[in-house]
Structure 1
């Protein structure tokens, strides 16, 4: 009996921007700021597009608000990523090893710093530090295939 097979691959386009700041710490921090900042901008754009379509109207003030929100989200997400990547790099250099503990410590430090910079209370800073450490550790485990 004749048979046939189909095979192929699907890949996404890859856009890469290289920024050379002269030091690996700065290169990683700026690179993560730009990449994750773009994710924040895209998230905000998608939300505002959905709201405009749902509302059925678009005005100049709506566009201005959307642009301000996109910039704010991009800077916020980029800042969080930059602080995290820079902190993780520093911890890795100090400890001399690359493991989940670096991710946990960097996530906790990032959560605390971003929370403190947002003028939140002492209890919220601790909760954000715990959440940041937990998320970063989980991300490290998922990215390094510990579960399968």
Structure 2
């Protein structure tokens, strides 16, 4: 019996936007802002497109609402990513090494900063810091596996 198969590799696309500010800290922070901000905006675009198609209703008002929401979400997630990348870079420079501990400390500090900026108080800030540190550490370990 004849057999057929498909072989190949799957690679994720890589897009690099380089904005040289002359400062490595700012370069990384801006890079994180742009990349994750774009992901946040695309997420909203997909959700809003689905909602419009599902309801069968597209209007100028809905498109304007979707664009505003895309900008807001993109700016929020871009800012969070920029803070995280900047803090991790700072921790790396202070510690003098690059390892998973930088992600843990960077995640915890970023989570606390973003939570405090969102007018949360006490226990919520601590919980957000622990969560962000755990997620950042898990992502760093997952990156080591690939």
Partner of 1:74: 74
Structure 1 range deviating more: 57-66 or 132-141: 57-66
Q: 1:120 to 1:7 in 2, by over 3 A?
A: same
Q: How many residues align?
A: 146
- 2:37 corresponds to 1:34: no
The separation in 2 between residues aligned to 1:101 and 1:13, in whole angstroms, is 28
The separation in 2 between residues aligned to 1:6 and 1:48, in whole angstroms, is 36
Q: 1:7 to 1:87 in 2, by over 3 A?
A: same
RMSD over aligned CA atoms reads: 1.9
What TM-score do the two structures reach when normalised by structure 2?
A: 0.92
Partner of 1:22: 22
**Equivalence map 1:105-124=2 (5 Å):** 105-124=105-124
The separation in 2 between residues aligned to 1:126 and 1:11, in whole angstroms, is 38
Q: Give ranges in structure 1 of 5+ residues lacking alignment.
A: none
The separation in 2 between residues aligned to 1:10 and 1:99, in whole angstroms, is 27
Partner of 1:43: 43
Q: Give ranges in structure 2 of 5+ residues lacking alignment.
A: none
**How far has the Cα of 1:8 moved from its partner?**
3.1
**How far has the Cα of 1:15 moved from its partner?**
2.6
- 2:63 corresponds to 1:63: yes
What TM-score do the two structures reach when normalised by structure 1?
A: 0.91
The separation in 1 between residues aligned to 2:120 and 2:41, in whole angstroms, is 24
Partner of 1:136: 136
Partner of 1:8: 8
**How far has the Cα of 1:10 moved from its partner?**
3.9
Partner of 1:85: 85
Q: 1:64 to 1:3 in 2, by over 3 A?
A: closer
